[in-house]
């Protein structure tokens, strides 16, 4: 499907992989996605950061692009920005996963009455990954309403991809400190720190070193775009190499202001070697989300 697909396919073929697994892609109800896109369109004037969406296509076309890239599994990260929305989003995501076999069934949560009930329902319905967006939702991971939920997800071993770093703009509850308190209470929680914890890379790497179930996704990190305002510190490359079994490829497709292949090249140019790339782009996610007989 065009020269970019060829570049992506060449990337994983060179590594001897069967394809790649992307744990951080966004699929959501069309009217919600339009709002997200409108937010990024407005971000330019607001922050001085131009954010042109590269893959502003209809859903079918977006799926076709991912498949042409050889993305074997992906997610439908979606998140509420207010109460009363998560259960509806979870219903949509369950339907989406049912009609999209290569998408991992994704669910979300918000600190509100009833959250424990609908999270349990989503887990029973087969959700394999959760998304929590502390920045957009302006919600506190340590909200007592979420305590039983974290316990339940830790118990079930279900990963929770969490936007908890303070980039691109800090929220009321972002940063490593509240997440450190959460992990101290739920040390076995399979927290996946989105965006490598940008810009607090070192602090979130330290949490991954302290808690064996903590992982980080690469979403937008190391790209020219992110390096422009939140460069990854060269001094931390050794830790990144050592944590090679806990880093997962994520991209933010389709909402990215550059071609997908750039994320892959950005990982490659870190110079951490082919074995590291194979683990990050395929092996680690394959182990975390084993194929299921359905
Ligand atoms: Zn995202």
Helix (H, G, I), strand (E, B) or coil at 176: helix
Residue 47: predicted pLDDT: 65
SS3 36: helix
Q: What residues contact residue 67 under an 8 Å CB cut-off, 6+ apart?
A: 102
> Tell me, what's the pLDDT at 45?
63
What pLDDT shows up at residue 50?
Answer: 84
Q: What spacing in Å lies between the alpha carbon of 183 and ligand 1's midpoint?
A: 22
Residue indicated by tokens 């050889």: 70
Residues sharing a CB contact under 8 Å with residue 47, sequence separation 6 or more, in sequence order:
168, 169
CA neighbor of 109 nearest in space, from 92, 131, 129: 131
| Structural domains in the chain, sorted by start | 3-288 (3.20.20.140)
Distances (CA, A) of 213 to 39, 52, 206, 210, 251: 33, 35, 13, 9, 21
Q: How far apart are CA 233 and CA 206, in angstroms?
A: 14
Say how far apart CA 48 and CA 211 lie, in whole Å. Answer: 37
CA of 25 relative to ligand 1 center, distance in Å: 7
Task: Give the whole-angstrom CA distance, residue 215 versus residue 213.
Answer: 6
Quote the ligand 1 centre to 252 CA distance (angstroms).
Answer: 5
Our separate counts of H helices and E strands in the chain read 13, 9
CA 76 – ligand 1 centroid, Å:
10
Block mean pLDDT (10 aa), the chain, length 294: 89 98 97 91 74 94 98 96 94 98 97 96 98 80 95 98 86 89 97 97 98 98 96 98 98 97 98 98 97 67
**Ligand 1 mean position to 4 CA, how many Å?**
21
CA of 20 to the centre of ligand 1 (A): 18
C-alpha 63 to ligand 1 mean position (Å): 17
């Amino acid at each position: 499907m065009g020269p970019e697909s060829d570049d992506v396919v060449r990337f994983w073929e060179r590594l001897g992989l069967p394809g790649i697994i992307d744990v951080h892609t966004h699929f959501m109800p069309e009217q919600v996605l339009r709002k997200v896109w409108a937010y990024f369109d407005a971000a330019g004037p607001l922050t001085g950061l131009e954010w042109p969406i590269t893959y502003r296509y209809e859903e079918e076309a977006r799926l076709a692009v991912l498949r042409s890239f050889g993305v074997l599994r992906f997610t439908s990260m979606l998140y509420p920005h207010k109460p009363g929305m998560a259960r509806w989003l979870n219903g949509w995501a369950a339907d989406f996963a049912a009609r999209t076999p290569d998408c991992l069934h994704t669910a979300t949560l918000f600190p509100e009455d009833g959250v424990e009930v609908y999270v349990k329902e989503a887990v029973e319905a087969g959700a394999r990954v959760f998304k929590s967006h502390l920045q957009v939702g302006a919600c506190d991971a340590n909200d007592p309403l979420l305590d039983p939920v974290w316990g339940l997800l830790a118990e079930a071993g279900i990963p929770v991809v969490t936007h908890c770093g303070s980039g691109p703009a800090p929220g009321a509850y972002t940063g490593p400190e509240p997440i450190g308190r959460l992990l101290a209470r739920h040390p076995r929680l399979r927290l996946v720190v989105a965006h490598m914890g940008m810009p607090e890379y070192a602090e979130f790497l330290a949490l991954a070193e302290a808690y064996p179930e903590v992982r980080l996704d690469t979403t937008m990190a190391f790209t020219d775009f992110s390096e422009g305002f939140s460069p990854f510190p060269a001094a931390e490359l050794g830790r990144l190499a050592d944590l090679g079994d806990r880093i997962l490829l994520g991209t933010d497709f389709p909402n990215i202001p550059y071609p997908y292949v750039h994320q892959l090249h950005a990982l490659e140019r870190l110079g951490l070697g082919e074995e590291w790339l194979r683990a990050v782009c395929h092996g680690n996610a394959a182990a975390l989300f084993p194929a299921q007989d359905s």
